[in-house]
Amino acid sequence: MEEEAKRGSLFEDEEFPPGDSSLFSDYTTPISKFQGDVTWVRPQEICQSPTMFAENSKEGHAKQGILGDCWFLCACAVLLKNEHLMNKVLPGGQPQWGEHGYEGRFGFRFWQFGHWVEVEVDDRLPCINAKLCFSHCQSPSAFWVALLEKAYAKLHGSYERLWAGQVSDALVDLTGGLTERWSLKDCGKEENQHGENHKPKRKLDLSSLQGVKDGGTVSCSVHSSPGGASELGQYHALSVMEWTDVRTLTGGDVRLLRIRNPWGRRCWGGAWRERGDVWRELDPACSEELLSRTQEGEFWVEEAELLNEIDEVTVGYPISDQGLLQSIYTGKELPHSQQVRGCWIKGHSAGGCRNNSSFGSNPKFWLRVCEPGEVLVSLLQHRGWRQSSFSQGCSNVEVPPEGGVEHQDYQAIGLHMWKVEKKHFNLTRTLNRSPCASTRCHAYEREVTLRAHLGAGFHLLIPSTFLQGAEASFLLRVFSSAPVALSVVKGPGPPAAVAPDGEWDTSRLPGKWVPGSSAGGSRNFPSHGMNPRVPLTVTRRSGEPNVRIALRQHCPAKDLQPIGFHVYQVRASVGRGGAGRGTFRD
């Protein structure tokens, strides 16, 4: 009786209840066949002594269930390597099972569009036949993976929305950092189809990546093979746990990679399989030591053999214990960062790629580099449909306004940079020159990144979609070894939402304030009526008239005055003295 009362007082999350609404979104994935079979059980009802983490760290790795979220589980590996990130995502001090203050609730954090977002869930977990049916730890008594997966599912709206994704996206959500992807097959294929210049595909050399072996994260993905599913599966992601160079008995050098399959079972029948004859080519002590490192679901494979089988490699930039991004090219920390939001709006700022004459209408940003150094620039687009109503209601994360810039699919995005002299800046002449740095292509990705070693001075950044008129919101981020400043290039504001596709007439009128005749000051002064006055006639058509007025002063920055203007609604018969009427718009 006492236990029932205690159980009844445990937290129950009404925003993500134990039912089909939390499991499914549209019933289009293979897990939909389990509708009605899933029950929701708390950890203390699954095992006798539940814990968050396993005593043996090797048993804390994630094991995939019936949900196709291997991409997310591969990203989770970074948390086991980095205590700072684990504490960031799963804050400490939360009462666990059997501890004083335990309420059956746990809080997690995910990085979303520039902010860390808090997600709270109860610990009722989906089970089939009293066993966890989705992701879980190798240890049956550890629950950090299952709870983290539930929080991530809540963020996205349902477990079903975690079916299929990119390791790179999950890594960014768990670290707030950057990733890079190497496409090993048909690199640039999309770009050629769009008609842009093809850039040679990058060669992946793991040994050249700084800090990744110890502090970064590496994952490899298999898409599909012409002959059907390979031994590694189809559309499957695996984790690269480590790599090492070994010398054979004949004096040859071999690089071996230890791979972990989220399925939790070995799936490799290549030369370096567990009992393969090729192990005899190594010193017996070396062979024994390497094989002893493998856990459940892990195997060794030669680098060349693996790269021939996989389609893509994803590398997550290391994050230091102080939360600083570390370059995978130089190994240096990039302690300075800036970010700014923007959006592409059809008819105003969705100019498309450089193939279009409207390219210059895209959003533009000043990047000021204070001293020479390494700079990484990331362009991240917002994919609104994957966010649940919960995440859109968070007060500490900004999302695009409803309607207009949220799309089901990613746009093909790219980023270009020009070195400029700001005082003598001319947009047309600048765009006629080749950029000093660019992303490799416009890609249908959530995030693209460019890297450059920049000298001091101003640089112009222009993010763009490939297609003209394609709408989306985005976040521009800069990480650098030296201080930088990122700001918006001022320009005309977006057209009013009620008429985004209308024709806009533009009028400009010069004027000046002259002491003694037309410098009347603000409305606080009796002389306010001396200021220049301009009649403005608006022809009313269907709907409300849309007018945008800007007042700009021309003088050196040190001589700028506080300025403003007022708009008064007057009858057509009222002359220049009409300023005495009430203010219509300030």
What residue numbers bound the domain in which 20 lies?
Answer: 2-176
Catalytic residue, candidates 61, 70, 156, 343:
70
CB pairs under 8 A, 24+ apart, for 397-404? 397/112, 397/113, 397/114, 397/115, 397/117, 398/113, 398/114, 398/115, 398/341, 399/113, 400/343, 400/473, 404/345, 404/471, 404/497, 404/500
Fill in the amino acid letter for 199: K
Residue in 61, 136, 236, 459 annotated catalytic: 236
Residues 147 and 185 occupy one common structural domain: no
Q: How many domains does the chain have?
A: 4
> Domain ends where: 281, 316, 351?
316
On whether both 172 and 184 belong to a single domain, the answer is: no
pTM beyond 0.75: the answer is yes
Catalytic residue selected from 61, 220, 261, 348: 261
Check if the beta carbon of residue 520 is closer than 8 Å to that of residue 529.
Answer: yes
Q: Is 261 a catalytic residue?
A: yes
Same domain, 286 and 372: no
Residues 227 and 285 reside in one and the same domain:
yes
464 and 538 both lie in a single domain: no
pLDDT in tens, the chain (586 residues): 344 445 568 999 999 999 999 999 999 999 999 999 999 999 999 999 999 999 888 888 999 999 999 999 999 999 999 999 999 999 999 999 999 999 999 999 999 999 999 999 999 999 999 999 999 999 999 999 999 999 999 999 999 999 999 999 999 999 999 999 998 875 444 444 444 444 455 678 888 888 888 888 999 998 865 544 456 667 789 999 999 999 999 999 999 999 999 987 666 778 888 888 899 999 999 999 999 999 888 999 999 888 888 899 999 999 999 999 999 999 999 999 999 999 999 999 999 999 999 999 999 999 999 999 999 999 999 975 444 433 333 333 333 333 333 334 789 999 999 999 988 899 999 999 999 999 988 999 999 999 999 999 999 999 999 999 999 999 999 999 999 999 999 876 555 443 344 445 567 778 888 888 888 888 878 888 889 988 887 765 545 556 778 888 877 666 778 888 888 887 655 444 444 433 333 3
Q: Looking at the domain assignment, is residue 327 inside a domain?
A: no
Q: Considering the domain boundaries, does residue 408 fall inside one?
A: yes
User: Is 353 annotated as catalytic?
Assistant: no
Three-state DSSP at 354 gives: coil
